[in-house]
Amino acid sequence: MTALTERPKKGAPPSVRPQPPTGVSKWRRRVPLLPALIFTIIVTQLPFVATLVISTFQWNILKPGERHFVGLSNFSFVFTDERLRTAVLNTIVLTASVVLISVVLGLGLAMLLDRRFVGRGLARTLLIAPFLVMPVAAALLWKHAIYNPDYGLLNGTLNAVYRFFGADNGPTVDWISSYPMSAVVLSLVWQWTPFMMLILLAGLQAQPGDVLEAARMDGASALATFRFITLPHLRQYLELGILLGTIYVVQTFDAVYTITQGGPGKQTTNLPYEIYLTMFRKYEYGEAAAAGVVVVLGSIVIATFALRTIASLFREEVSR
Partner 1 sequence: MRARRMTHVLITATAAGSLLAACSGAGGSSSDGGDGKSINVLMVGNPQMEDIAKLTKSTFTKDTGIKVNFTILPENELRDKVTQDIATQAGQYDVATVGAYEVPVWQENGWLHEMGTYADKDSAFDKGDLLKPMVQSLSAADGKLYALPFYGESSMLMYNKDVMTAKGITVPERPTWQEIADIAAKVDGAKPGMKGICLRGLPGWGELGAPLTTMVNTFGGTWFTKDWKAQVNSPEFKKATNFYVDLVKNHGEVGAPQAGFTECLNAMSQEKVAMWYDATSAAGSLEDAKSSKIAGKVGYAYAPVVETKSSGWLWTWAWAMPKTTKNADAASKFMLWASSKKYEQLVGEKLGWARVPSGKRASTYEIPEYKTAAAAFGDITLNSIQEANPTNPGVQPRPTVGVQFVAVPEFQDLGTKVTQEISAAIAGQTSVDKALNDGQKLAEEVAKKHQ
Residues of this chain that bind partner 1 (CB under 8 A):
46-48, 50-51, 53-54, 60-65, 83, 135, 143, 148-150, 169, 172, 174, 176-178, 180, 248, 251-254, 260-267, 272-273, 275-277, 279-283, 285, 288-289, 292, 295-296
Closest approach of partner 1 to the CB of residue 202, in Å: 23
Q: For residues 22 and 6, what is the distance between their CA atoms, to the nearest angstrom?
A: 24
Q: Is 119 helix (H, G, I), strand (E, B) or coil?
A: coil
**Radius of gyration of the chain, Cα coordinates, nearest whole angstrom:** 25
Backbone angles phi, psi at 258, to 5 degrees: -80, -45
Closest approach of partner 1 to the CB of residue 304, in Å: 17
- For partner 1, the closer of residues 82 and 210 by Cβ is 82
Q: How far is CA 3 from CA 6, 8, 315, in A?
A: 5, 9, 13
- For partner 1, the closer of residues 177 and 207 by Cβ is 177
- For partner 1, the closer of residues 188 and 289 by Cβ is 289
Helix (H) or strand (E) holding 30: helix 23-30
Q: How far is CA 37 from CA 29, 30, 33, 42, in A?
A: 13, 10, 6, 9
- For partner 1, the closer of residues 130 and 263 by Cβ is 263
- For partner 1, the closer of residues 193 and 260 by Cβ is 260
- Where are the strands (E) in the chain, listed by range? 57-58, 68-69
- For partner 1, the closer of residues 45 and 221 by Cβ is 45
> What's the CA angle centered on 192, arms 190 and 193, to 5 degrees?
70
Closest approach of partner 1 to the CB of residue 153, in Å: 14
Q: Are 240 and 310 in contact (CB under 8 A)?
A: yes
Burial category of 41 from C-beta neighbours within 10 Å (exposed 0-12, middle 13-18, buried 19 and up): exposed
Closest approach of partner 1 to the CB of residue 282, in Å: 4
Q: Are 205 and 114 in contact (CB under 8 A)?
A: yes
Closest approach of partner 1 to the CB of residue 285, in Å: 6
Closest approach of partner 1 to the CB of residue 248, in Å: 6
